[in-house]
Structures are given as C-alpha cells and as structure tokens.
Amino acid sequence: MSLQKTIHNRLIVATKEKDTVYVSTLRMLRAAIKNREVELQAELDDQEILRLISIQVKQRKEAIRQFKDGGRDDLVNKEEQELSILMSYLPVQHSPEAINDIVAGVIQELGAKDLKDMGRVMKTVMGQLAGSADGRLVNEIARKHLSR
C-alpha cells in the first residue's frame, strides 16, 4: 500500500476515534502533499512524500525550539505531539555511528578529498539515506571527514 493511502486510511480511523491532534496533523500533511502535487502537476511517490514529512518534522522541531525560548509550554506540547505523529511515518532513523560509516564509505567511493567535494558527497549520502537521517547531522559528519 502506498504511503499516501496509508495516511488517508489512518486519517479516517483518527476521525472516527475523534483524535483531534492526529486528525489535524494528518490534514496538514495531506494539504502539503496536495500542494506539492499541484506544484509538480504529478502524483507524488513514496520518496517525495517522505521528503515532505521530513520537512514537516524540521518545521515542528524549529517551532518547539522557538516556543520553548518564548516560554509557551502549551504550544510546545502540541508541537511535540504532532512531531511524534509525523515521525511515525518516517523510516527508523540511522544512528550517528551508522551515518559516519556511510559517509566514510561514500567519500572513499567518490574519491572526495576536501570541502570542494561536499556537494557530491551530500547528494550521494542523502540519496542513500532518504528520510532516515537528519541532513544537518549528515552535513556535520561529512564536513568533519572532508576537512581532515
């Protein structure tokens, strides 16, 4: 079953269960998917949907940070609930050690020598990890390897 169909089915269940946080989160996600489909004039595949979910996750993390700084614990709680719902649709996240091994392998495979090769390394690594690693973390690890 496609990821879009899974999200749709879960939205129906959440609506019947009157789970308002789940319903609103999945509606926002479906709206983001629909907007992207209109923009591209094509139906999204699972990889594109995972990218959209990753973007939504990043937005929630940033909102949580800002709400904590502003002392808005009520909004922090809401954003954390939405974050956990969105994270449930992403693949299991790789550990920093696993990412380090993948980055090292890609650097060796590409023959990357310094930071000038960062773009090629990031493109290859993020293609392999597709939604299962935070881009910032991958960037930091790749930067450490390439600046040696």
Looking at the fold, whether 41 and 15 belong to one and the same domain comes out as yes
**pLDDT tens profile 75-104:** 999 999 999 999 999 888 888 888 889 998
Give pTM, 2 decimals.
0.75
Range of the domain at 126: 96-146
Which CATH number goes with the domain that contains 81? 1.10.1510.10
Cα distance between residue 55 and residue 51, in whole Å: 6
SS3 content of the chain, % helix, strand, coil (to 5): 80, 0, 20
User: What's the length of the chain?
Assistant: 148
Asked if 123 and 57 sit in the same domain, the reply is no
For residue range 31-64, what is the model confidence (pLDDT) as tens digits?
999 999 999 999 999 888 988 998 899 999 999 9
> What CATH number does the domain containing 125 carry?
1.10.10.410
- CB atoms under 10 Å from CB of 96, counted, come to 14
Looking at the structure of the chain, the number of domains it has is 2
